[in-house]
């Protein structure tokens, strides 16, 4: 009986060790990002009918929030683009993190906007039809005084597109079972207007141009290798 218990214990210990080995990250998908340059160099200042608006100012954030952002993100980019055919403008914000482990992963805009005193409303999951693929996005409205900002965003975690903590957790778990530490990027598109339907339609036009009018290495950084294939 003692020998049998010893075998059972040894077998359980071996299984635990094997499971721990499988769950121990052994590779980082940020390696695929290496050599592509900074976001400022990677993302074109003009594509399709969109061009970067000169003389723009970066949003001012509190020092404590900025310190958190500097810890979470390896690289960031904030630009305003204008459609030369219509004169309409869109803000693009990118935040890249090389390590998407639980403590360092990309933060949702809901968190950062709320930390700056914005009220968040009308949060919803949507899918945009981009180049014969469905791109999952989150849409919401951030309000502070007279400023009303319509926001569409997605987070790439490894090769997954995730929305919200549940999908982020599932992606982190999946990569962990594969022995991989995923990198990730927050892609946020926003406008300051007062017409929800028109703003989100403008977001879709901009995102379509961003993903179909740029080089494959740009698209891979923004949405991964799998979504835009085919």
Res 16: pLDDT:
40
Q: In whole angstroms, what is the distance from residue 10 CA to residue 90 CA?
A: 61
Q: Judge whether residue 181 has pLDDT over 90.
A: no
Higher pLDDT, 45 or 178: 45
CATH topology of domain 27-223: Protein Transport Mog1p; Chain A (3.40.1000)
Higher pLDDT, 152 or 167: 152
Mean pLDDT over residues 13-26, rounded? 42
Q: In whole angstroms, what is the distance from residue 95 CA to residue 112 CA?
A: 12
Would you say the pTM of this structure is higher than 0.85? no
Res 139: pLDDT:
94
pLDDT grade for 190, boundaries at 50, 70 and 90: very high
Place of tokens 């981009």: 130
Q: In whole angstroms, what is the distance from residue 67 CA to residue 73 CA?
A: 10
Q: Tens of pLDDT along 20-41? A: 434 454 555 555 555 567 899 9
pLDDT grade for 225, boundaries at 50, 70 and 90: confident
Indicate the domain borders of the chain.
27-223
Task: Please measure the distance between the N-terminal and C-terminal CA atoms of the chain and give it in whole angstroms.
Answer: 59
Q: Tens of pLDDT along 131-161? A: 778 899 999 999 999 889 999 999 988 888 8
């Amino acid at each position: 009986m003692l020998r049998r218990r010893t075998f059972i214990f040894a077998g359980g210990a071996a299984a635990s060790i094997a499971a721990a080995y499988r769950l121990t990250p052994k590779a980082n998908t940020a390696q695929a990002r290496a050599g592509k340059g900074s976001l400022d160099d990677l993302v074109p200042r003009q594509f399709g009918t969109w061009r970067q608006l000169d003389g723009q100012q970066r949003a001012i954030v509190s020092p404590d929030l900025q310190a958190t952002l500097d810890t979470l993100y390896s690289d960031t980019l904030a630009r305003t683009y204008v459609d030369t055919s219509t004169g309409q403008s869109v803000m693009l914000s990118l935040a890249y993190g090389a390590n998407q482990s639980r403590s360092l992963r990309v933060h949702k805009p809901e968190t950062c906007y709320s930390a700056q005193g914005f009220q968040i409303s009308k949060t919803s999951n949507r899918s945009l039809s981009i180049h014969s693929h469905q791109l999952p996005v989150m849409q919401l409205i951030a309000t502070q005084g007279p400023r009303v900002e319509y926001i569409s965003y997605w987070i790439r975690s490894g090769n997954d597109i995730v929305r919200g903590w549940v999908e982020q957790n599932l992606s982190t778990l999946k990569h962990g079972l594969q022995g991989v530490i995923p990198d990730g990027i927050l892609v946020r598109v926003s406008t300051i207007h007062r017409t929800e339907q028109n703003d989100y339609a403008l977001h879709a036009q901009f995102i379509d141009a961003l993903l179909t009018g740029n080089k494959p290495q740009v698209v891979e950084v923004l949405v991964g290798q799998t979504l835009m294939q085919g």
